[in-house]
Amino acid sequence: MSLPFYMTPPYPTVTLSPRADARAIRNGFPWVNAGELAADARVKGMVPGTLAVLADATGKAIGVVTINPASRIVARLLDPDPAAIIDGAWLAARLTRALALRTRLYDAPFYRLIHAEADGLPGVVIDRFGDVAAIQPNTAWSEVLIAPLCAALVQVTGVAAVIKNGSGRARGPEGLQDEMAVIHGPAPAGPVPVPMNGAIYMADVMGGQKTGLFYDQRPNHAFAAGLARGGRVLDVFSHVGGFGLAALAAGAVSALAVDGSAPALMLAEQGAAAMGMADRFAMRRGDAFAVLDALAATGAQFDLVICDPPAFAPGKAALDAGLRAYERVAKLAAPLVAPGGYLMCCSCSHAADLTAFRNATARGIGRAGRRGVIIYTGFAGPDHPVLPHLAESGYLKALAFRL
């Protein structure tokens, strides 16, 4: 498969400015931000996705990068070997390495296969749902190489269908438009059943949020499910029933799912039915804050309450408002927890670190007149590896309190 001229070797060389931290990049930091390249008229004229060799200010090569002059992240490191050739074989090698980890971790092909920079494919997310895979190409280089990336994915995994999910806010800064397409095999006839933690989830890979399911919460679902045995569970911001269905599978007597999305709740209901537990599952559509208020007004109590909201602080500019929102969630949820019960609060905001999120949640619990101790701190599962040099790859936090 031929590549565009701007992705064909020999690659041009781009140079870091003297003030850029070349040592950090050599040690594993994968990004070069705008202003950190030496002034070079050629860079401004490069097509987004262009491949280049990155050199330090002395001219010593660091590795192969992809260039997008329109992005705040002007260069992303693809390979620390300056002689690397980025082609179908290179993509297949990265996918093979990622697959080896997942097959060691899981006994069924339901997981995140590629977690962007942490798996050596900057800006690329691939979730696997058995014989179906969904690719999110969130960077210019991966958009250009979507065909060889798809071919390598099919070669390495043998999946029967590949969905391109070109949606989400990460594509905008790269200058990419939204697009949803089936790029290999037949489109799934409907939601894909996904077994996880004893539950069955229905993943809408064509029209659902993100790729259709949040695999990152798997270990936190499992911990919460252990607290739920014999109890009443409230799953707020439930999406397709992540925590509630896991709780039912573990022996909860009931689960109430709350979400603003009717399609997501319908998928949760289908999952409960597939598990044979529809009679123990209920759902309530509405604004989560309003529903929490309404439940409190009725004196409702639950043995376990989980709140897993969307990213209230997706960036530093939204951090203060986001922390206030997390505090408000905890303040509204805490009164619904029966004495001696449990409250789990989650954050997928990378801008809110664990300390800030923990403090905001504790303030909310205190403002509700409750007290609690933390019995669990959770993160994303191991199919979402964290690149230690890139804080953004460790975005998910979960805290369980006994009140």
Ordered structural domains, the chain, with CATH: 5-79 (2.30.130.10), 88-184 (3.30.750.80), 207-402 (3.40.50.150)
The pTM is what?
A: 0.95
Nearest to 370 by CA among 380, 362, 378, 379: 362
How far apart are the C-alpha atoms of 278 and 271, rounded to whole Å? 8
Output the 3-class SS for the chain: CCCCHHHCCCCCEEEECCCCCHHHHHCCCCEEECCCECCCHHHHCCCCCEEEEEECCCCCEEEEEEECCCCCEEEEEEECCCCCCCCHHHHHHHHHHHHHHHHHHCCCCEEEEEEHHHHCCCCEEEEEECCEEEEEECCHHHHHCHHHHHHHHHHHHCCCEEEEEECCCCCHHHCCCCEEEEEECCCCCCCEEEEECCEEEEECCCCCCCCCCCHHHHHHHHHHHHHHCCCEEEEECCCCCHHHHHHHHCCCCEEEEEECCHHHHHHHHHHHHHCCCHHHEEEEECCHHHHHHHHHHCCCCEEEEEECCCCCCCCHHHHHHHHHHHHHHHHHHHHHEEEEEEEEEEECCCCCCHHHHHHHHHHHHHHCCCCCEEEEEECCCCCCCCCCCCHHHCCCEEEEEEC
Nearest to 131 by CA among 165, 162, 155, 103: 162
Q: Does the CA dihedral 45-48-53-56 come out positive or negative?
A: positive
Strand partners, 134: 127, 163
Strand partners, 112: 127
Q: Are strands 281-285 and 337-347 parallel, antiparallel or unpaired?
A: unpaired
C-alpha atoms less than 13 angstroms from C-alpha of 195 in its C-beta half-sphere? 7
Q: What is the model's pLDDT at position 111?
A: 98
| Whether the Cβ atoms of residue 386 and residue 393 lie closer than 8 Å to each other | yes
Amino acid at 73: I
Assign residue 197 a region (left: φ > 0; alpha: ψ between -120 and 50; beta: otherwise).
left
Instruction: Tell me whether the omega of the peptide bond preceding residue 10 falls within 30 degrees of 0, making it cis.
Output: yes
Residue 64 φ then ψ, to 5°:
-95, 130
How far apart are the C-alpha atoms of 2 and 171, rounded to whole Å? 25
Dihedral (C-alpha) 156, 157, 163, 168: value to the nearest 10 degrees?
-80
- pLDDT averaged over 10-residue windows placed end to end, the chain, 403 residues: 88 95 95 91 91 96 97 97 97 98 98 97 97 96 97 98 91 92 95 97 86 93 98 97 98 98 96 98 97 97 97 90 97 98 96 95 98 98 95 90 98
Q: What is the model's pLDDT at position 39?
A: 82
Q: What is the model's pLDDT at position 1?
A: 62
